[in-house]
Amino acid sequence: KVQEQIDVKQIADKIISGDRGYLSKGITLIESNASHHRQSANELIQHILPHIGKSVRVGITGVPGAGKSTWIEAFGKTAVSKNYKTAVLAVDPSSSLSGGSILGDKTRMEFLAHHPDVFIRPSPSSGTLGGVARMTRETILLCEAAGYDLILVETVGVGQSEGIVRGMTDFFLLLSLTGAGDELQGMKKGIMELVDAVVINKADGANKEQAMKTMHDYNQILRFLTPATKGWKPRAYTCSALYNSGIEEIWDLIFSFISETKESGEFQKRRSRQAVDWMNQLVQIRLNETFFIEEKKRQMKNLEEKVRQHELSPSEAVDLLFEKYQ
């Protein structure tokens, strides 16, 4: 069997020159689960590493129906009008289950989908959140190397996905609904301490008044919580993506955040910290993959059940699990 030859250097050069086709090709390589592709993917990243770091990375979260696609369409329009090459990515851990991706439906981003300065890539549909996270992080690097100035990473709040997107972006934004009152009830645990801003969308028509109230409620909480970014006071804002009002203000907000954090050094510190955190996460994933071969998984499951029933102490269970390992 002849192993396929991948010219990693060529792909890297083409990506750096801004070739969209090769950018897609590079991402496909990154998303491949074949182990011989992993090595090529790592080499590819290593090649493009000197060309990364120049974009602004913005994470966007919000429940389904919060209008993320419409908001990204409006925000992306603003970006291209200012000559910002824009990439739109997604982290959607549910897409491997549902078979679809939150960015799969490009109809709500019709303008962006056809614009030459915009690159849209749906969420990878790998099985694990860790896998999706790795791929998206590496895709960000490729997009940066390809000259994209603004990278938007969308996520739906499933499992740990918000923390993961926060960990790969400079600015993190929660898009919130308004209308029904009680919007803040059932808010996801910890989410408010991840955000740099809350944006209440659909603040138009009859909704406007309720949106102001929701904004006030969010500000009440934000006032008390520890900010996600040192030296930055997160606040709530309203906008209407549909009527394109308040979008320019969010743009200004994000870019004043970027210049402030660059000046204070927090921007660069966060990027370094994110890379190291990611490395540490990869180490943990790898350690577990190496240890938890099929037999160990079965054994762990049995022991876990005994611990659940208080038949075995956790310490004793772990001793049993590691007996054969050491």
Residue 170 identity (one-letter amino acid): D
Residues 132-191 that bind a copy of itself (CB under 8 A): 134, 137-138, 141, 184-190
Q: Can you say whether residue 309 is alpha, beta or left, with left for phi > 0 and alpha for psi between -120 and 50 degrees? A: alpha
Q: Which is nearer to a copy of itself, 253 or 300 (CB)?
A: 300
Stretch binding a copy of itself (CB under 8 A), from 34-42, 165-173, 205-213, 231-239: 34-42
3-class DSSP state for residue 272?
helix
In whole angstroms, the minimum distance from the beta carbon of 315 to a copy of itself comes to 5
Size of the site for a copy of itself (CB under 8 A): 61
User: Using CB under 8 A, which of 28, 256, 259, 313 touches a copy of itself?
Assistant: 313
Distances in Å between the Cα of 148 and the Cα atoms of 54, 193, 197 are 8, 28, 23
Residue 125 CA to residue 156 CA, distance in Å, equals 14
6 lines the binding site for a copy of itself (CB under 8 A): no
Give me the numbers of helices (H) and strands (E) for the chain, helices first please. 13, 7
Stretch binding a copy of itself (CB under 8 A), from 62-70, 79-87, 91-99, 218-226: 218-226
3-class DSSP state for residue 189?
coil
Q: Which residue has the tokens 């180490």?
A: 283
Stretch binding a copy of itself (CB under 8 A), from 16-24, 35-43, 85-93, 206-214: 35-43
Site string for a copy of itself, 228-267 (x = CB under 8 A): ----------------------------------------
User: Using CB under 8 A, which of 7, 18, 49, 82 touches a copy of itself?
Assistant: 49
**Alpha-carbon 247 to chain mean position:** 21
42 lines the binding site for a copy of itself (CB under 8 A): yes
3-class DSSP state for residue 63?
coil
Which distant-in-sequence residues (6+ apart) come within 8 Å of 56 by Cβ?
149, 150, 151, 170, 171, 254, 255, 258
Q: Which of 58, 124, 128, 66 is nearest to 91 (CA)?
A: 124
Residue 115 CA to residue 58 CA, distance in Å, equals 20
User: Using CB under 8 A, which of 290, 294, 323, 324 touches a copy of itself?
Assistant: 290
297 lines the binding site for a copy of itself (CB under 8 A): no
Residues 124-143 that bind a copy of itself (CB under 8 A): 134, 137-138, 141
Q: Which is nearer to a copy of itself, 255 or 292 (CB)?
A: 292
Q: Which of 211, 190, 133, 193 is nearest to 167 (CA)?
A: 133
Residue 236 CA to residue 214 CA, distance in Å, equals 9
Judged by the rule CB under 8 A, the positions of this chain that interact with a copy of itself are 39, 41-42, 45-46, 49, 52-53, 134, 137-138, 141, 184-190, 192-193, 217, 220-221, 224-226, 271-272, 275-276, 278-279, 282-284, 286-288, 290-291, 300, 303-304, 307-319, 321-322, 325-326
